[in-house]
Amino acid sequence: MTGFARLRRVNDPGEMIVTLKSVNHRSLDVHVHLPADLDAYENTLRNVVKRKVSRGHVDLRLTWNRAGARSMLTLNRPLLESWLAAFQQAREYHAVFSEPDLNAAMRIPGMLTEADAEPDEALESVLTALADEAVDLFNESRAKEGIALAAVIREANERIRGHAAEMGALREKALPAFQERLQEKLSNLLSGNNIDPQRLVQEAAILADKSDIMEEIHRLTIHSTELNRLIDAGGEAGKKLDFLMQEMGRETNTILSKTGGAGEIGLRLTDLGIAVKSEIERIREQSLNLE
């Protein structure tokens, strides 16, 4: 589920800005981006997100404008010595008279670094509280999107229920065609020589099952009711909806496999089955966004 939040606070350590954003993901994938001197608190902030978010690709970024003096800078002596040696080598090789420019050396990335700061409990507490507040704002934005997505899913589900009801009504009209097809297949079986009576009973039962779609329509309706229940219950529903869509898709595919050879009514049943599959796919896409 997508979401966004930005929180700015000015406190004793200075100005801190936390930005949270997310895109859809089947599981929780948290990325924390901090200034180098706050690297020690990455796991702390990651755990704050994990406590309140269960799905999505989440990016947390924090910027810090410190109050007061910055930490002491240290000189990267091996890098400076390597740079001076390369400078001397280039001067001798090209016979160019020039003196090293210390200002230019100081601008080389990594030449000056901040001393590693020890973890500070007070600073960790400030960061935790700030991230916790930002995640709450972030979840509020996701909740608003979730309400809109749930409405879209309910509308698609109502269309499925309507299609299932129409298929149930058409099934009554198609029964003679289904029975005629069953009778034809049974006649073909009976025309065989020396057919085992037990096998005939088994084949007849299988053919009878394949000649009616009432059971599939019934299960499709049950799954549709369960879908509404999951949406109304709230909470983490995305994975459950994805499984439910698989079951509804399986029932619809079975209906489509049984509607051939039923004339115009069979064609309409096929159209309705395809429409149901389209709505199922629409719900599946939206369910990936729900947490």
- pLDDT level of residue 185 (50, 70, 90 thresholds): low
- Residue 76, pLDDT score: 87
Question: Which among 285, 212, 273 is positioned nearest to 248, based on CA atoms?
Answer: 273
- pLDDT level of residue 257 (50, 70, 90 thresholds): confident
Is pLDDT above 80 for 115?
no
Q: Mean pLDDT throughout 71-91?
A: 86
Q: Mean pLDDT throughout 217-239?
A: 86
Cα–Cα distance for residue pair 5/104, rounded to 1 Å: 40
Residue % of the chain over a pLDDT of 90: 39
The token pair at 10 is 């000015």
> Is the model more confident about 14 or about 120?
14
Q: Mean pLDDT throughout 255-268?
A: 77
Is pLDDT above 90 for 164?
yes
Q: Mean pLDDT throughout 159-170?
A: 91
- Residue 202, pLDDT score: 57
Is pLDDT above 80 for 176?
no
- Summarised one tens digit per residue, pLDDT across range 131-150 is 999 999 999 988 888 888 88
Domains of the chain: 73-106 (no CATH), 143-287 (1.20.120)
Is pLDDT above 80 for 14?
yes
Q: Mean pLDDT throughout 225-229?
A: 92
Is pLDDT above 80 for 260?
no
- Summarised one tens digit per residue, pLDDT across range 266-281 is 788 889 999 999 999 9
The token pair at 230 is 């999951």
- pLDDT level of residue 171 (50, 70, 90 thresholds): confident
- Residue 193, pLDDT score: 56
